[in-house]
Amino acid sequence: MAAVTAPTLPGAAIEQPKRLRVSDYLRWSVDHKIIGVQYMATALFFFIFGGALAMLIRWELLTPAIDLMADGQAYNSLFSIHGTVMIFLWIIPMMAGFANYLVPLMLGAKDMAFPWLNAFAFWLIPPAGIMMILGYFVGQTEAGWTSYPPLSTLFSGDGQTLWALSLHLLGVSSILGAINFIVTIRNMRPAGMGYFQMPLFVWAMLATSIIIVMATPFLAGALTLLILDRVAGTAFFNPAQGGDVLLWQNIFWFYSHPAVYIMVLPAFGIISELLSVHSRKPVFGYRAIALSSMAIALVGFTVWAHHMFTSLTPELRIPFMITSMIIAVPTGIKVFSWLGTIWGGKIHFTSAMLFALGFLSMFVIGGISGVMLGSVPFDIHVHDTYFVVSHLHFVLFGGSVLAVYGAIYHWFPKITGRMLDERLGKIHFWITYPAFFLTFFPMHLAGMLGMPRRVAQYAPEFQTLNVFISIAAFVLGISTFILLYNMVHSLFYGEKAGANPWRALTLEWATSSPPPSTNFIGDPVPFPNPYGYGTEAAYNYVESQNKKYGTVNPSDYEPVEKIGPLSAGTE
């Protein structure tokens, strides 16, 4: 250690960035970029696993009888693990992966505030994942991702205990990660960058992390009680022995409604970046987008009982209906701001942009069905039916997953130094997008006609609908492999990306792709408005950057003659 203390001279001391090998990603590392990729790779693995389970679910539902699965219990395990894996081992870690990679870069920092803690938080995930999968094979993880007692306490088997332990670990991991993000965002910003000059993705991560720190402990508390009930013989959730069965539902939703925003706020952040960059326009209503994330974070804690309209005392329904309507407002503000952002922009229909637009359209449908569910009379009718399944997939797949896809097309060049194949990307989009819609939209209908969720056997009159849904779902499943193929192929044969292929203004692009291990050579100079696209200053800023890194990028991104009229749109 002592031998090398010479200070790094900008530009001089750092030679060619060391080319990372696969083995570098399998080892403990405190570099946030490596950790980010570790998160993403792990999450993608679980995405494939959870996706395979989804295919099995749809296969089972091709017929009204139980045929693929041995019995109802086996089917229960199937959708329980599918839901849990998708939420806790795919979406949340995937977002954490992007955030790990991007937040320090976007802030112009060398790393997170606590690099060691960052690595530690990541390394909790693989054992938790293994435990979860083990739980599946041990069996009888039957209670769904919501794990309501008494099914989760008196009936399920050891798999359920492993499930709870695994979630505990994942919770610890995400709390540690969130603390790290908040400290990084507050303390590692360069002195010249105020909160309102941060990229919106960073804002989104700030709001997300605040929710994680305050909501996840509820889950931890509830899981502790659940585990005690299962293994120590307590009866917190068993009314027959003096417990209260609704206690779980209350605490769980007190965590889990805020948690749905943990899953979707980072996606909001991604979308704000993508829309602005690919339509070459400043974000419309920057402050509105930034602050509505905070509003969502707080109001999100007051709506949980809308998941319990059918189990609560009736007097409490209306208050929660009102708060549920209120929380749609900040989300609506964001949607309008995004529309304002692309309005009159010079839209480039790149794959990233297509997915961002896909997000916009599908998420709005999910939001609308959310408001429908939030109104008591309607919810009483469709609670626990396929309508809910449809809603949650529109917000989580149509929302978060499409945003992740967009983010992959957008940031893959930064992370690997290679472009993804745009043609394959468009094919991917034009299969995924309709297949997604055709899979999940008809579920609204199935739900309203009365098909319950979480069943392997259903009334024969629903079969046509279900066969249709299943076929669309298989197409959707297969379309994922286009992306996976594209990623693997482009990693080796993709076009070289250069530092800033999209001529974006945020700081992660102000360094080589992939960035050197210290992130920047010298100190990066942020552009005052991270979204000041379409101005001459922005044009010159990117040009000077290009000179520094010796890269050229598509000239049609910022035609000089177009700059005049567009600059009027600057906030």
Which positions touch ligand HEM (CB under 6 A)?
Answer: 146, 260, 263-264, 306-307, 324, 327-328, 331, 367, 370-371, 373-374, 379, 383, 388, 391-392, 395-396, 399
Between 61 and 178, whose beta carbon lies closer to another protein? Answer: 178
Q: Give dist(CA 464, CA 63) in Å, integer.
A: 9
483 binds, among Cu ion, another protein, ligand HEM, none (CB under 5 to 8 A by kind): none
Distance of closest approach, residue 441 Cβ to another protein, in angstroms? 35
Distance of closest approach, residue 144 Cβ to Cu ion, in angstroms? 15
Within residues 64-93, the interface with another protein by CB under 8 A covers none
For another protein, which residue of 82, 168, 189, 306 counts as binding (CB under 8 A)?
Answer: 189
What does the DSSP assignment read for 493-557?
HSPB--S-TT---SGGGSS-SSPPTTSSSS-----SSTT-TTSHHHHHHHHHHHHHHT----GGG
Distance of closest approach, residue 180 Cβ to another protein, in angstroms? 7
Between 167 and 251, whose beta carbon lies closer to another protein? Answer: 251
Beta bridge partners of 418: 496
For another protein, which residue of 162, 225, 264, 542 counts as binding (CB under 8 A)?
Answer: 225
Q: Which residue is nearest to ligand HEM (CB)?
A: 370
Between 131 and 388, whose beta carbon lies closer to ligand HEM? Answer: 388
Q: How far is CA 341 from the centre of its chain?
A: 22
For another protein, which residue of 137, 192, 336, 461 counts as binding (CB under 8 A)?
Answer: 192
List, in order, residues 6 or more apart from 568 with CB less than 8 Å away.
Answer: none
Would you count residue 257 as binding Cu ion (CB under 5 A)? yes
264 binds, among Cu ion, another protein, ligand HEM, none (CB under 5 to 8 A by kind): ligand HEM
Angle CA 220–222–227, to nearest 5: 90
Q: Among the candidate windows 72-80, 260-268, 310-318, 405-413, which touches another protein by CB under 8 A?
A: 310-318
Helix, strand or coil, per DSSP, at residue 418: strand
For another protein, which residue of 26, 67, 196, 224 counts as binding (CB under 8 A)?
Answer: 224
Helix, strand or coil, per DSSP, at residue 385: strand
For another protein, which residue of 25, 28, 116, 430 counts as binding (CB under 8 A)?
Answer: 116
Q: How far is CA 289 from the centre of its chain?
A: 17
Between 379 and 421, whose beta carbon lies closer to Cu ion? Answer: 379
For another protein, which residue of 368, 430, 528, 543 counts as binding (CB under 8 A)?
Answer: 528
Would you count residue 239 as binding another protein (CB under 8 A)? yes
Between 257 and 281, whose beta carbon lies closer to Cu ion? Answer: 257
Query: Do residues 13 and 521 lie in contact, with contact meaning Cβ atoms separated by under 8 Å?
Result: no
Q: How far is CA 118 from the centre of its chain?
A: 18
Encoded tokens for 404: 């992740």
Within residues 157-216, the interface with Cu ion by CB under 5 A covers none
313 binds, among ligand HEM, Cu ion, another protein, none (CB under 5 to 8 A by kind): another protein
Encoded tokens for 311: 């189990």
Q: Among the candidate windows 102-110, 271-279, 392-400, 480-488, which touches another protein by CB under 8 A?
A: 102-110
Q: Which helix (DSSP H) or strand (DSSP E) does residue 53 occupy?
A: helix 32-60
218-248 in b/e burial notation, b at 16+ Cβ within 10 A? bbeebbebbbebbeeebbbbbeeeebebbeb
**Burial group, residue 423, by CB count within 10 angstroms (0-12, 13-18, 19+):** exposed
Distance of closest approach, residue 46 Cβ to ligand HEM, in angstroms? 17
Query: Do residues 110 and 104 lie in contact, with contact meaning Cβ atoms separated by under 8 Å?
Result: yes
Between 320 and 409, whose beta carbon lies closer to Cu ion? Answer: 320
Q: How far is CA 445 from the centre of its chain?
A: 27
Between 175 and 202, whose beta carbon lies closer to another protein? Answer: 175
Q: Among the candidate windows 1-9, 36-44, 88-96, 431-439, which touches another protein by CB under 8 A?
A: 1-9
173-183 in b/e burial notation, b at 16+ Cβ within 10 A? bbbbbbbbbbe
For another protein, which residue of 232, 552, 560, 568 counts as binding (CB under 8 A)?
Answer: 232
Q: How far is CA 303 from the centre of its chain?
A: 21
Distance of closest approach, residue 324 Cβ to Cu ion, in angstroms? 7
The site for Cu ion (CB under 5 A) is made up of 257
